[in-house]
Amino acid sequence: MKMSRTFMIILLPIVSLFMISGCATRSTHHSSSVVKYLYPDKNEPVETSQIPTLSLPLKVGVAFVPETAGRNYGFTEKEKNQLLREISGHFKKYKFVKSIEILPSAYLTPSGSFANLDQIRTMYGIDVIALVSYDQTQFTDEGLASIS
């Protein structure tokens, strides 16, 4: 009886250690922030409100905001183009939209701000740019406990 009790006292922490180590998770986070792209040097961007003047029908550009770290691990370029085509299809049904341009990701520089958007506007002759951003986190369980 005493032997089994000592055995349990030793065995219990070892089993607990295996269970805890089996529950270890790893997470990866990919995101792109419109605010960090448009206002790279400001902590709290405050803009004065203005009323824009638009002439209809509009020429619209659609693009993904680059990731803040400059890497592109969230989506492949093919997946981005597929999503942008789907989004542009929604814009095409409106009468006030004359044309839609899907802008390549390479043209948007990380922390490019409004200066980068002005360059793209001039290159493509567009009136409005719709920016698409994302925020995704992936959790991966690793170890023996994740198998069970």
Q: Binning pLDDT at 50, 70 and 90, where does residue 85 land?
A: very high
Longest dimension (CA), the chain: 89
* pLDDT at 105 exceeding the cut of 50: yes
| C-alpha torsion 112→113→116→122, nearest 10 | 170
pLDDT in tens, 38-55: 877 777 767 778 888 888
Three-class SS state of 123: helix
- Find the mean pLDDT for residues 76-105: 89
